[in-house]
Structures are given as structure tokens and as C-alpha cells.
């Protein structure tokens, strides 16, 4: 489980890009800096799981 502010940031990006929720490397780095997560946590965990849950 991630902190609420982290999840909110990632969820907002995901919802804004729902038609193509695959962040570029630059976006992953930006989200990583904003949330305090590593790039691999952003891509490998959160986005993979979010796409599974929503799709």
C-alpha cells in the first residue's frame, strides 16, 4: 500500500490518460519524483495493477 497522496497523484495521471495509460520514460521519472517512488515501482507495480483493476 502506498500513501494517499502518492496514490492520488498516480490515479489522477491515469484518469487523465485513460485512453492510453502507458506513461513515457519522462513521465515515469516525473511521477517518480513527485511521489517518492522508484521508477520501477511506478511502472512495474502501480500502473500494471491499475490497468488490470480498471480494464
| pLDDT reported for residue 17 | 95
At residue 1 the predicted structure's pLDDT band, cuts being 50, 70 and 90, is: confident
Residue 42: what pLDDT?
93
2-20 pLDDT per residue, tens: 899 999 999 999 999 999 9
Domain boundaries, the chain: 4-16+25-54
What span, in angstroms and rounded, lies between the C-alpha atoms of 53 and 55?
Answer: 6
Burial class (CB in 10 A: 0-12, 13-18, 19+), 35: buried
pTM assigned to the model: 0.86
- For the four alpha carbons of 18, 55, 42 and 28, in that order, the dihedral sign comes to negative
Amino acid at each position: 500500500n502506498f500513501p494517499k497522496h502518492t496514490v492520488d497523484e498516480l490515479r489522477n495521471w491515469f484518469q487523465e490518460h485513460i485512453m492510453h495509460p502507458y506513461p513515457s520514460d519522462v513521465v515515469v521519472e516525473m511521477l517518480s519524483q513527485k511521489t517518492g517512488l522508484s521508477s520501477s515501482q511506478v511502472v512495474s507495480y502501480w500502473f500494471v495493477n491499475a490497468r488490470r483493476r480498471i480494464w
